[in-house]
Amino acid sequence: MTERQWPNILITGTPGTGKTTHAAQLVEALQGAPSTSSAQWQHVNVGDFVKEKGCHSGFNEEWQSWDVDEDKLLDELELVQQAGAKVLDWHTCDLFPERWIDLVVVLRCDHQQLWNRLEKRGYQMNKIQENNEAEIMEVILNDARESYAPEIVVELQSETPEQMEQNLERILSWVEAWRSNRAEDDDDEEEEP
């Protein structure tokens, strides 16, 4: 059983599905809810973290992204995830050890809407096409299902603000349930002779 007093949540999905928006609002909601506000919730945008900590071997002009040094990233994140109460936000989900993560949220979006979001963001055509195809082929969802126990992977739609609201409520309820189970486990351990 994990030693963490609070869970770590991974929000993943194809770029543009709403990871960063969800993660930022989720942390705000968790900080504001009486049942979860005693933890030091932190949004870890892994893309920004890679840049800040220099966990890369340079900028890839063709794909307009950093070439991630995975070993360095894992070493740096190992320290961060230990305390729990982290909301990790990244488009890759199969890199992290299973023991780090208690819930994997895979955000999904209609591919036409995703195309529009990425176009608006100014992505190059090769990047838009690649991501659009990945969303249609459910690449991230399949990676998540292959990398984590099925019961901790949830697929949530992220096309409207109403859906986002519902998603946040659902995750908050899940955190509350995780805490209750954790408290029960602690009680059981204390009762053992």
- For the annotated binding site, the residues are 16, 18-21, 121
- Residue 21 tokens read as 């928006």
With respect to ligand DAT, which residue has the nearer C-beta, 17 or 81? 17
**Shortest Å distance, C-beta 127 to ligand DAT:** 12
Binding of residue 117 to ligand DAT (CB under 6 A)? yes
Query: Of residues 7, 8, 10, 16, which one binds ligand DAT by CB under 6 A?
Result: 16
Binding of residue 42 to ligand DAT (CB under 6 A)? no
Query: Of residues 8, 15, 29, 178, which one binds ligand DAT by CB under 6 A?
Result: 15
Binding of residue 130 to ligand DAT (CB under 6 A)? no
Rg, C-alpha atoms of the chain? 17
In 3D space, the residue among 92, 86, 60 whose CA is nearest the CA of residue 73 turns out to be: 92
Query: Of residues 61, 161, 190, 191, which one binds ligand DAT by CB under 6 A?
Result: 161
Query: Rounded to an integer, what is the distance from CA 142 to the centroid of its chain?
Result: 15
With respect to ligand DAT, which residue has the nearer C-beta, 12 or 147? 12
Binding of residue 163 to ligand DAT (CB under 6 A)? yes
Tell me which residues touch ligand DAT (CB under 6 A).
Answer: 13, 15-21, 117, 158-161, 163-164
